[in-house]
Amino acid sequence: ETGVTQSPTHLIKTRGQQVTLRCSSQSGHNTVSWYQQALGQGPQFIFQYYREEENGRGNFPPRFSGLQFPNYSSELNVNALELDDSALYLCASRDQRGSTDTQYFGPGTRLTVL
Amino acid sequence: GENVEQHPSTLSVQEGDSAVIKCTYSDSASNYFPWYKQELGKGPQLIIDIRSNVGEKKDQRIAVTLNKTAKHFSLHITETQPEDSAVYFCAALGTGNQFYFGTGTSLTVIP
């Protein structure tokens, strides 16, 4: 186990709705990244937070937003859901202590948009 | 940004044979290359990684090689077992301090 948890496991929403996905990272890992993984594809980087500030963003529109909290938890918020947002959303806790730089993934949240 | 290509997309091997998965990257600034194994319904799991100051790394039946000049790296699994069946992803840590992933290789080990 990676020590990274995500909730909920599965979620069904309709187009136009808003969704919040949650992640709990490993203690001591100050960086958390969120990825979108479409069926049969590799994870696509959405954004990354370091000590509660966004410090990197992939090619995703502003309706994808996030928060990171001091207790190593984080959220991914998606507004105005579209059918193409249906995917597995992965949270990754990043250990950058010392010379290490290793990501540990959670099990993901499967989002279906109808 | 970085572009990571991965081949093959599917791979079937007999139990006990070796499997090789290859990736190329475009950004010469990339300096860290992890490999992940993803089983059905689970998140990717780190299985081995290599940094740009090393050419090869081995961990039991798994090895990774890196050719910085050619910008490619490979995963080698020897003595494959049915439990090695999964989707494998390569990744590169590139510009913007973010990870770029390949499109995955579905490995099937036939008993």
Could you read off the pLDDT of A7-54 as tens digits, one per residue? 999 999 999 999 999 999 888 888 999 999 998 899 999 999 998 999
Residues 2-21, chain B, touching A (beta carbon < 8 A): 4, 6
On whether any CB of chain A is under 8 Å from the CB of B102, the answer is yes
Please report, in tens digits, the pLDDT of each residue of chain B (111 residues total).
789 999 999 999 999 999 999 999 999 889 999 999 999 888 999 999 999 888 999 999 999 999 999 999 999 999 999 999 999 999 999 888 889 999 999 999 999
Euclidean distance between CA atoms B16 and A15, whole angstroms: 48
Q: Which amino acid is at A15?
A: R
Contacts 24+ apart (CB under 8 A), A55-58: A55/A31, A55/B97, A56/B96, A56/B97, A56/B98, A58/B98
- Whether B103 and A41 lie within 8 Å, measured CB to CB: yes
Phi, psi dihedrals of residue B82, rounded to the nearest 5° = -55, -35
pLDDT for A101 equals: 78
- Whether A44 and B98 lie within 8 Å, measured CB to CB: no
pLDDT for A29 equals: 84
DSSP 8-state code for residue B88: E
Euclidean distance between CA atoms A57 and B1, whole angstroms: 12
Q: Is B18 in contact with B34 (CB distance < 8 Å)? A: no
Q: What are the pLDDT digits (tens) for A82-104?
A: 999 999 999 999 888 777 778 89
